[in-house]
Amino acid sequence: MHSLLFTLGLATAFAPFAAAHTTFTTLFIDGVNQGDGTCIRMAKKGDVATFPIAGGLGSKDMACGLDGQDAVAFTCPAPSGAKLTLEFRMWADAAKPGAIDDSHVGPMAIYLKKVSEDMKATPAAGGGWFKIWDEGFDAAAKKWATEKLIADNGLLSIDLPTGLPEGYYLARHEIITLQNVTNNVVAPQFYVGCAQLHIAGGSGGNIPSDKTVAIPGHISDATSPSLDFNVYQEDPTTYKVPGPKVFFPTSGSNTKVTTTNDKIAGTVPATCLLKNANWCGTAVPAYTDETGCWASAQNCWDQLDVCYNTAPPTGSRGCKLWEEKMCTVLQNACQSKQFQGPPKTDLKADAEGVNAPVPGKLPGAVNEGVKQVGEGEGNNGAAATATASAAGPEATGGLKKKCGLKKARREEIRRRRVVMALP
């Protein structure tokens, strides 16, 4: 009997794979680093930040991950058609190098969902999601999507559609790893996370409802061959990415449309002196006497408390810099009876150290020049289909034969009792 497992218990069931998972930590827009953790919803506790989703296909965490129902303070502005680059790490704070363990093989996908200006008002879980890209096994490169991610140092770039209506969006990644799927256990692992975006307008139209799905719910068949796929025994070129077909609306123009930040809710304020993820330090009150000096120092320490208390698993390097360069300096001034202030401090020179070093050159967009066409249980990218066609009739016939065997196997699986751990 097969068991479909989506629980943290897999960490003990499959010990060799337990230590090295992954999480989305950093967003780049047209090559500009937005800052570690900035605009990104992630698990609040670092000890589970890189873990797969627990609770099953029906869990709300399938939308944006653990704690992903909670909005963060900042929303990052992106022009229509912008190139987004997502950085993935095995250790959220980059304490050690690596994106995802090379044993973790499987497909990847990117989804979008249009939400209200108030990010807290629209639940991440629910309808409105549409897929703009996916990839399973690239037959030409002979690599799974996750293997290509590792080759690119944990960096994945994708061009946004130019035909999106202007507004606020959640951008969601989905990684499904299949290393734990065997003949006896169906145990895929889901790694998901979301970034908050404002995307400048392209077409101005609405997203057709028939192109959207609900998450959870976009993958509901626990017996799907896309989840019960043995990467050690089956032909990877037959793999189909689960979920809806790709929908990539274009405007017919390559011109990027932008919107000024002062018209977008949730952008990093101009008054921000130093940023750590979704926290900003702002200027402390000026003072001319001892009482004012200590009040200003207290303001600095109060801001620091918020910084440390809200720091995500990507780290608190910005908090430490604020403590060292602002609060400690201010306190020392008060103790030295320097009651005219605050002291001038230039944080810009040290701000670069707030973010971990970028692990490599930002890659080109995975969908650049690729015509996205829905296929089967999703879109396996153009690579597998193009390779099969180029291989000639014999290869194509063989592929059809394997697909027929796959269909028969699906019917066999359907007859089995599948136990699924739900929330």
Q: Is the dihedral of CA 205, 248, 360, 46 positive or negative?
A: positive
The three state secondary structure string of 342-408 is CCCCCCHHHHHHHCCCCCCCCCCECCCCCCCCCCCCCCCHHHHHHHHHHCCHHHHHHHHHHHHHHHH
Q: Are residues 346 and 366 in the same domain?
A: no
Token pair belonging to 305: 């408390």
In a domain, 260, yes or no: no
Q: Highest mean pLDDT range out of 22-26, 53-57, 366-370?
A: 22-26
Q: Is 76 helix (H, G, I), strand (E, B) or coil?
A: strand
Q: Is residue 261 a part of any domain in this protein? A: no
Of the three residues 354, 372, 390, the one that is the final residue of a domain is 354
Tell me whether residue 288 is in a domain: yes
Residue 229 lies in a domain: yes
**What pLDDT does residue 350 have?**
84
**314 — pLDDT class (breaks 50, 70, 90):** very high
Place of tokens 């796929």: 229
Which of 304, 306, 286 has its CA nearest to residue 296?
Answer: 286
Based on the fold, state whether residues 114 and 213 are members of the same structural domain.
Answer: yes
304, 379: one domain: no
CA–CA gap between residue 170 and residue 199 (Å, rounded): 10
Whether residue 225 is found in the same domain as residue 145? yes
* Within-domain flag for 400: yes
The per-residue pLDDT for range 56-84, each reduced to its tens digit, is 999 999 999 999 999 999 999 999 999 99
Position 395 pLDDT exceeds 60: no
CB atoms within 10 A of CB 422: 9
**Number of separate domains in the chain:** 2
pTM: 0.84
Q: Are residues 396 and 299 in the same domain?
A: no
DSSP string, 12-64: HHTGGGTS---EEEEEEETTEEEEETTTEE--SSTTTTTSPP-S-TT-THHHH
| Phi–psi pair at 112, nearest 5 degrees | -130, 155
Domain shared by 205 and 125, yes or no: yes
Parent domain of 396: 3-255+361-420
| Tokens encoding 272 | 């921000």
Say what the pLDDT of residue 254 is.
60
What is the pLDDT averaged over residues 102-131? 97
Beta-strand relationship, 189-199 and 76-78: parallel
Residues 236 and 334 in one domain: no
Number of Cβ within 10 Å of residue 157's Cβ equals: 18
Do 296 and 151 belong together in one domain? no
Smallest CA-to-CA distance from 78 within 24, 129, 34 is with 34
In Å, the largest CA–CA distance within the chain is 87
The rounded Cα 127 to chain-centroid distance in angstroms is: 19
Instruction: Express as a percent the part of the chain with pLDDT over 70.
Output: 80
Whether residue 148 is found in the same domain as residue 196: yes
Say whether both 188 and 334 belong to one domain. Answer: no
Examine the fold and report which residue of 354, 370, 401 is the final residue of a domain before the chain moves on: 354
- Report the distance separating Cα 377 and Cα 242, nearest Å: 5
The CATH number of residue 106's host domain is 2.70.50.70
Choosing from 318, 333, 354, the residue where a domain stops is 354
| Same domain flag for 103 and 187 | yes
Task: Evaluate whether 69 touches 134 at the Cβ level (below 8 Å).
Answer: no
For residues 57 and 53, what is the distance between their CA atoms, to the nearest angstrom?
9
335 inside domain: yes
pLDDT band at residue 140 using 50, 70 and 90 as cut-offs: very high
* Domain co-membership, 147 together with 21: yes
Tens digit of pLDDT for each residue in 163-184? 999 999 999 999 999 999 988 8
Judge whether 9 lies within some domain. yes
Burial of 211 (0-12, 13-18, 19+ CB in 10 A): middle
Provide the token pair at 257.
């449309």
What mean pLDDT comes out for the span 240-255? 86
Grouping H, G, I as helix, E, B as strand and the rest as coil, residue 196 is strand
- Cα–Cα dist 232/182, whole Å: 8
Which residue in the block uniquely carries the two structure tokens 């590792």?
150
Looking at residue 253, its pLDDT comes to 63
